[in-house]
Amino acid sequence: MESYITEYMELPKNINLPLETEINPELIKKLIKVSEKNTERYNILQEYYEGKAKINERSKDEYKANNKLSLDYPSYIVDLLLGMFVGKPISYTVAEENKDIMAAIQEVFDMNDEQDENTEIAKMAGIKGRGYEIVYLDEEGQVKFNEVEPENIVMVYDNKIKPEPLYSLYVRDDVNVENLESDKKDKLITVYSKDFIKEYISKGGDINLIDEQPNLFGEIPVIEFLNNDESIGDFERVLSLIDAINLSQSDTSNDFQEFTDALLVLTGMPQTDAEDVDNMMKDRVILLDRADGQAAQWLIKTINDTALENYKNRLDSDIHKFAKVPNLSDEHFAGNVSGEAMKYKLFATDQIIAQKQRKFKSALQQRIKLILKIANIKTAKDFDYRDISIVFNDNKPYNELDNINTVKAALDAGLSKTYAYGKLRDIDDVLEEIDRQEQEKDAYMDEFIKNADKDLEEDEK
């Protein structure tokens, strides 16, 4: 079967222009036209994730079954990788002397619900291959950031050896009360550069400047979150397999429906009329004469169930294999599997997660850099985003007993508590855990000494 999206599979290409290129309405038109080529692909990938996969028409004959079953592989793949990737919140660590930096950034994070934002933008990148975030100042001068769909953003890079963002366009409908129900709306276009932010409106093919202001960030405040270097979604490589298993499952449903709706063949009974057939179907009883040459039987289609199930099982296995996502319902993926065996089962998945982490980390560093641009202006200080370490917390299934035994073996071997506790999967801050142990030990010793003094006083009496 030909995949529904084959003709739309061309991946987005970066737009590179000379560094001295100046933005103008004519250039904006060209950039928007180039970016619109990607819109259909983004929409189809989103529909697949939402369970709206395209199932080809089997037949237009109204008397034939035409079931369309869509197996939800896309959301399974995206959501599972998403949970392993950012299921546990990303944490940030700084040296003791830089805690003031992190406190200021954390305040901005809390104001923007940073953990939820990370999850949403990681999901967007998992579906469409890339996602975007705009950092901006609200009416009160507070730093805000929010995710934006890739179909609404046009990124323009320079043509240096290592390209950097030159311009970014945020394109969206100009929605108001008057045009709320209209299919055609004017477009609002925000152009970001390192020096300025310009607002344009597109009406009837004409683009006019309506506002301009300086860019206080000194950087383009549009951040690109890539899923990988190719900007490919998590399930995009296996779409042809997903289409194939959807069609196979739909055909199986059609076969069973047509088995139920089988035709009754009456031999040697030409005198039977429509009323007789209706009565037989209603009563489910056939009365036959004893004369030779008369017979009644069902005309049914033979279903090779074993071959069909083998085919679908092979497709299912290939989808998980090439999407590099484990099948958690597999009987071989049980909870009693050893930690070492689990590592091998998740090895391919680990490579995907590591790839996601590298791309996401670069984008998060850019977010922190933009936040500090404003913080440095307000505080007249010179905080550096590189002083903050970004830590991705593992959220994959593991064998808890094996994990505890690993830590115990490290302690028995004389290794430091810092190293040994660092192997514990459920502890995010090892130093904090050691500090809590010391506090509990001190509290226990104080209680022990207090009781000992009390016993001594009683003995003296």
Residue with tokens 């206080």: 216
Q: What's the average pLDDT block by block, 10 residues per block, for the chain (461 residues)? A: 51 91 95 92 94 68 68 94 92 83 90 95 97 95 95 95 95 86 88 96 91 94 95 94 88 68 60 69 55 60 75 91 87 61 80 94 96 87 87 76 79 79 68 75 64 62 57
Cα separation, 66 vs 24, in Å, equals: 52
Distances (CA, A) of 61 to 2, 66, 269, 298: 22, 9, 29, 21
pLDDT for res 162: 92
Three-state SS sequence of the chain:
CCCCCHHHCCCCCCEEECCCCCCCHHHHHHHHHHHHHHHHHHHHHHHHHCCCCCCCCCCCCCCCCCCCCCCCHHHHHHHHHHHHHHCCCCEEECCHHHHHHHHHHHHHHHHCCHHHHHHHHHHHHHHHCEEEEEEEECCCCCEEEEEECHHHEEEEEECCCCCCEEEEEEEEECCCCCCCCCCCCCEEEEEECCCEEEEEEEECCEEEEEEEEECCCCCCCEEEEECCCCCCCCCHHHHHHHHHHHHHHHHHHHHHHHHHCCEEEEECCCCCCHHHHHHHHHHCCCCCCCCCCCEEEEECCCCCHHHHHHHHHHHHHHHHHHHCCCCCCCCCCCCCCCHHHHHHHCHHHHHHHHHHHHHHHHHHHHHHHHHHHHHHHHHCCCCCHHHCEEECCCCCCCCHHHHHHHHHHHHHCCCCHHHHHCCCCCCCCHHHHHHHHHHHHHHHHHHHHHHHHHHHHHHHC
The rounded distance, in Å, linking the Cα atoms of 127 and 456 is 71
β-strand 295-299 against 263-267: which pairing, if any? antiparallel
| Model pLDDT, residue 4 | 47
pLDDT at 8: 46
pLDDT of residue 47: 93
> Do residues 323 and 234 make contact, with C-beta atoms less than 8 angstroms apart?
yes
**Distance separating alpha carbons of residues 447 and 441, to the nearest angstrom:** 10
Classify each residue of 329-341 as buried b or exposed e, where b means 16 or more C-beta atoms within 10 Å of its C-beta. eeeeeeeebeeee
Q: Which two tokens stand for residue 126?
A: 């998992």
**Is this structure's pTM higher than 0.85?**
no
Looking at residue 1, its pLDDT comes to 41
Q: State how far the Cα of 287 lies from the Cα of 266, in Å rounded to an integer.
A: 11
